[in-house]
Amino acid sequence: MPNYVHNELHPQVLGISAVNPFVRSDAAARQQMVGSHVSQALTIADASTRRNLGGFEKQLGTTTFAVKMPVDAEVLAVIEKYPQRIGGRTGENPYTIVLFENIETKEIDVLEVPTYHCLHQHFGFRYKFNKEVDLRTRPTLRKGTIIADSPAKDAAGNANLGTEAQVAFMSIPAVIEDGVVISRSFARRLGVMGYEKRDISFGQDYYPLNLYGDENEYKIFPDIGEHIRDTGLLFGTRKFDENMDVIGMAPKALRTPDHSGFDRLRYGEAGAKVIDVSVIYEPKGNQQLTPVGMDGQLRDYLGFERSFYLKLLSTFDELKKVRRDTMRISRALTIMLTEARSYVSDRPKNNVKRMYQHQALDEWRVEVTYEYLAVPTVPFKLTDFHGGEK
């Protein structure tokens, strides 16, 4: 009798179905569903390593949206957008740049290191930083060194696409039509970080409201690290009116939004945490349009961002003095330096008009980025590695 040949399913030819260790027991249609679900799966709050691994998880772990050193490099400088300050307005830095020298080509380049990743219009994740890499010591790093990575990747390098759960199969009304019942605590484990931005412009025709301040401090929006109020109201503006400003600009009136439609109000996610603020100031001649005292918070962030770009330019000048004519810089660094010079330049007023979406900028433009935990509820889809969508 001929030797028995095992009917093995090799991971090399299974594609994404290789994440399922029991793929031989599932129908082809269900296997196709698994592939579709994996490509749509979000990074959840409590991702865990599977008890039964398919063997493909480590390979998937090499393709996460990580921040890696692209070449063998020597770190030259680390510059934070908003350095932490004791007693200052900012307490959490959202963005860092790393200037490094390519050891092979001697080219100076820049690596951007944000605190979060988001390609979706809403959902993303906070980076998990590599504690073994301290950029401030200006180390020499090998190509591919991971600086920050997805939180859904364990210490062994496996991509954790979901989480383990205790399951009970029951005949109850809630499971009709592919329904599933989960506890509130498990729903929070399946939570996904959401990231959104809101912007507002004012100065020419509108002035900002003091929604987050008091009698002693004019505060248009929550500072970095603070949360949006329970109503979700992030910021608002009120139209200049020479007949009504004596009432509308009263201290109490500035802290009280008008919901009848008179004020322009922008809402975000209630309870969300502010993680980044960007401010653009576009002077309109020699006259300040926004009333004095309303722009203190804005000028603080404007000063922080200006200091960030000045630090970049001064660091570049120091490197240029040492390397002189032999210095080569990458295209990415060239673009960033051009942006920095544009931001800090003391150009003549009204010489250049900056635009946003083909519209001339108002005196002030503010963009606030916030994050929140989106806890699954009825519209969400729950699935497993057998294509059993619910």
Pick from 145, 134, 135: nearest CA to 97? 135
Q: In what order do the strands lie in the sheet with 364-374?
A: 116-117, 123-126, 192-202, 364-374, 273-281
Instruction: Determine the Cα–Cα distance for residues 20 and 25; give it in Å rounded to an integer.
Output: 10
| E runs forming strands in 224-263 | 233-239
Q: What is the pTM of this model?
A: 0.89
pLDDT value of position 227: 96
pLDDT value of position 270: 96
pLDDT value of position 2: 67
Contact (Cβ atoms closer than 8 angstroms) between residue 381 and residue 44? no
Token digits for 157? Answer: 């390098």
Helices (H), ranges, the chain: 11-14, 28-40, 57-61, 184-189, 245-248, 251-254, 296-323, 331-344
Q: Where are the domains of the chain?
A: 192-374
Q: State the DSSP string of 9-40.
A: --HHHHGGGGG-TTGGGS-HHHHHHHHHHHHH
156 conformational bin, left if phi > 0, alpha if psi -120 to 50, beta if neither:
alpha
Give the three-state DSSP class for 373: strand
Pick from 163, 184, 179, 167: nearest CA to 390? 179
Mode of pairing for the β-strands spanning 328-329 and 107-114:
parallel
Give the three-state DSSP class for 202: strand
Instruction: Determine the Cα–Cα distance for residues 14 and 12; give it in Å rounded to an integer.
Output: 6
DSSP state for residue 6 in the 8-state scheme: -
Give the three-state DSSP class for 332: helix
pLDDT tens, residue order, the chain (390 aa):
567 766 677 777 777 888 888 888 888 888 888 888 888 889 999 999 988 888 888 888 999 999 999 999 999 999 999 987 645 666 789 999 999 999 999 999 999 999 999 998 899 999 999 999 999 888 999 999 999 999 999 999 999 999 999 988 888 998 888 888 999 999 999 999 999 999 999 999 999 999 999 999 999 999 999 999 999 999 999 999 999 998 999 999 999 999 988 999 999 999 999 999 999 998 887 888 999 999 999 999 999 999 999 999 999 999 999 988 889 999 999 999 999 998 887 655 556 677 777 778 889 999 999 999 999 988 888 888 887 776
